[in-house]
Structure 1
Amino acid sequence: MLRLATQPPASLAQLFDRASSLAGASFAELAEAAKVTLPADLRRDKGWVGQLLERFLGASAGSKQEQDFPQLGVELKTLPIDAGGKPLETTFVCSAPLTNIAGLQWANSNVRNKLQCVLWLPIDGRREVPLAERSVGSAFLWRPNADQEARLRADWQEHMDRIALGQVEQINARHGDCLQLRPKAANGRVLTDAIGAHGQHIQTLPRGFYLKTAFTQQLIHDAFEL
């Protein structure tokens, strides 16, 4: 039986049990259990699925710059996949700092904080399937191994070096092995401060860090030994 969480999970085991209990549940069933309206599609409600799943799992962070389960040190990430288990989109990690970055190191970065332990929830992301009929997959926990962390750190450092040198507008989605930096804004009118080529403040689109699909595809392969 699907039940909304009334308290944050007290342990990693309890969190994983809650996530595992959602496997196979359709979005229609989840919406009915939560007594919320199921949108026709996700074009205007992109965060609907993630917010709904947070209610069943007892996430407490909301939109704060901390992990979804700070008491456990765990971040929740949904992962839309196709029928073959292939990720359909990159995964947002967190917003990128574009100013006041002197002294910022990988060890105290929000990217590392968010990715040190992730509860992944694959979900059916096929647009040709009605939203009500799509379902939740099998959850898995992931902590970066030494090689994965080294790759993430190298990408993060490359992006942050470019930002510090005033090259933020030259960074594109092709940069980075597994972690990319790209604009994150609802529309092109939303601007924020950044560092220009000559050290001056400029206005640019906010940026976010995203995991590339090849990286998350490998995580799925490793988790389920595909």
Structure 2
Amino acid sequence: MDQDKLPYDKFSVDSIMVYAERLEGHTLREMTDAAELQSPNRRRGAFGNAVEQYYFKYKPNSSQEPDFPEVGIELKTTPLKRDKSGRYVAKERLVVNMIDYDTVVNEDFERSHFMQKASRVLLISYLWENDVDPLDYKIVLVDLWEIPEVDLVQMKLDWETVVDKVRAGHAEDISGSDTVYLEACTKAADSSKRRTQPFSPVLAKPRAWALKASYMTAVENEMIDRRRQGIKRGAGEKDMGVLELVRSRFEPYFGLSEEELAQRLGISKSKDLCARITKRILGVDDDAEIDEFVKAGIKPKTIRLRANGTPKESVSFPAFDYYKLAETDFEDSDFYSYLQTKYLFVLYEIDGGGTYRLRDVALWQMPDVDIPEARRCYEQMRENVRRGRADVSVGVTENRCCHVRPHGHNKLDVRPQPYGPPVTKKCFWLNAKYLAGEIARVRGE
């Protein structure tokens, strides 16, 4: 694809990473127009190929060059799963590149094809779940990773252990138990396949360089933990609750516009400016999760208020899948989980000159008394889909709390439905008028 058609600058690491990080916390269904993805259980590499093709807009390939050759970055996707304690563990080893027995014997570790591929990796880790459509796997980590210097000594020893066997004419004797971090794993669709080696007539199994699952578990958990930061407390803040602490940090900035906040906090303008402002005010790095928010299940949400206190816009949730909606009860739905989430509303209110200024912060979760009304909206839309009328939405005047309307890029941005032709992507929205009352309530007005 031509550079001017790419949604990022392929010559800029920062541009690639800013674009890549939008995936974190989302699914391929939410972030791409991929209609179907073959299960990785039947076709390994399907998820990674979909990320390359549908998100980064380049054709999957088996080139020895890095996937982003202009900046020397290799893209790797890898599945995580949760163990019985809830901890993330790598589901499998991370395959880096095929081993060519004929050429690897002439390489040295530092300039090897393996190091070309593994020295700088854009790592995208997703949560694998049994019986979940791969398009709905949640991406939990997007980060740029380089082999830590402390690991390079062992990695080199592992590499040389394998290559020495090939040089000795014993590629057929290579075993995963030979090495510690890096292994030469078997890599063939048919276990009977064999290939030649340069210093012996004996055929050997095709193999690829791979980082062991145990190594990847440690790497990914360290990256996830590093990306989580707590709000550092100063004198007099140790006994504060989360909202009190957050409010104390925000209060000095009340009354400032977004532009003034960006200037004071040293932030360049971007689409996620308000989210970055929130993290800077709380003293957390732009790419870090806020530890207190993760523990409490809190999600920050920027809301712009009109002069009368009504949100400028209704609040949307991710687009839903029509098939999933038709089959899923309200209590098991994504929509219900969104309503059970606690939100930190960061409120910007318009002034007399038309400028939005930071006014307040408030914690909100839909009250139990309003859940039946939200359920009614869900069930009404579910019934529309079941009748083959997914094109019919739930209007804002039909429900006090919620409504349904399109959430696609345009009329051509559609999704299939179970009982009719494809329909424009839609999602559930919280009504602006309803939110106005809720914001006033939690602010004590």
Give me the TM-score of the superposition, normalised by structure 2: 0.40
**Partner SS for 2:360:** coil
The aligned counterpart of 1:42 is none
1:209 equivalent among 428, 431, 444: 428
Question: Displacement of 1:88 after TM fit?
Answer: 1.9
CA distance in 1, matches of 2:425, 2:350: 26
CA distance in 1, matches of 2:395, 2:359: 28
Q: Which has the higher contact order (CA 8 A, sep 6+)?
A: 1
Q: 1:74-223 residue pairs with structure 2 within 5 A? A: 74-116=298-340, 117-125=342-350, 129-130=354-355, 134-174=356-396, 175-195=398-418, 199-200=419-420, 202-223=421-442
Q: 1:209 to 1:125 in 2, by over 3 A?
A: farther
The aligned counterpart of 2:32 is none
- When the two chains are superposed, the root-mean-square deviation of aligned CA atoms in Å is 3.3
Are 2:377 and 2:394, in contact at CA under 8 Å, matched by a contact in 1? no
- Are residue 17 (structure 1) and residue 242 (structure 2) matched? no
Question: Displacement of 1:37 after TM fit?
Answer: 2.9
Q: 1:52 to 1:214 in 2, by over 3 A?
A: same
Structure 1 unmatched runs, 5+? 40-44, 63-68
Question: Displacement of 1:56 after TM fit?
Answer: 4.6
Structure 2 unmatched runs, 5+? 1-226, 233-239
Are 2:229 and 2:288, in contact at CA under 8 Å, matched by a contact in 1? no
When Rg is computed on C-alpha atoms for both structures, the one with the higher figure is 2
Question: Displacement of 1:76 after TM fit?
Answer: 2.4
Q: Give the paired residue count.
A: 203
The aligned counterpart of 2:261 is 30
Specify the code of the residue in structure 2 equivalent to 1:185: G
**Partner SS for 2:322:** coil
CA distance in 2, matches of 1:99, 1:146: 27
- CA deviation vs aligned residue, 1:7-51 (integer Å, no higher than 9, x gap): 1559x9336523552241431233125533347xxxxx5x54345
- Are residue 53 (structure 1) and residue 278 (structure 2) matched? yes
Of stretches 97-106 and 174-183 in structure 1, the one that deviates more from structure 2 is 97-106
CA distance in 1, matches of 2:336, 2:352: 32
**Partner SS for 2:325:** coil
**Partner SS for 2:391:** helix
Are 1:90 and 1:211, in contact at CA under 8 Å, matched by a contact in 2? yes
CA distance in 2, matches of 1:126, 1:163: 43
CA distance in 2, matches of 1:152, 1:61: 32
- CA deviation vs aligned residue, 1:161-191 (integer Å, no higher than 9, x gap): 2123221212153343311110012223322
CA distance in 2, matches of 1:161, 1:74: 31
Are 2:314 and 2:432, in contact at CA under 8 Å, matched by a contact in 1? yes
Specify the code of the residue in structure 2 equivalent to 1:159: M
Of stretches 105-114 and 50-59 in structure 1, the one that deviates more from structure 2 is 50-59
Specify the code of the residue in structure 2 equivalent to 1:156: Y
Q: 1:98 to 1:122 in 2, by over 3 A?
A: same
Are 1:81 and 1:126, in contact at CA under 8 Å, matched by a contact in 2? no
CA distance in 1, matches of 2:433, 2:273: 25
Specify the code of the residue in structure 2 equivalent to 1:90: S
Are 2:362 and 2:442, in contact at CA under 8 Å, matched by a contact in 1? yes
Q: 1:20 to 1:88 in 2, by over 3 A?
A: farther
Q: 1:61 to 1:96 in 2, by over 3 A?
A: farther
CA distance in 2, matches of 1:20, 1:187: 42
CA distance in 2, matches of 1:16, 1:93: 27
Are 1:20 and 1:138, in contact at CA under 8 Å, matched by a contact in 2? no
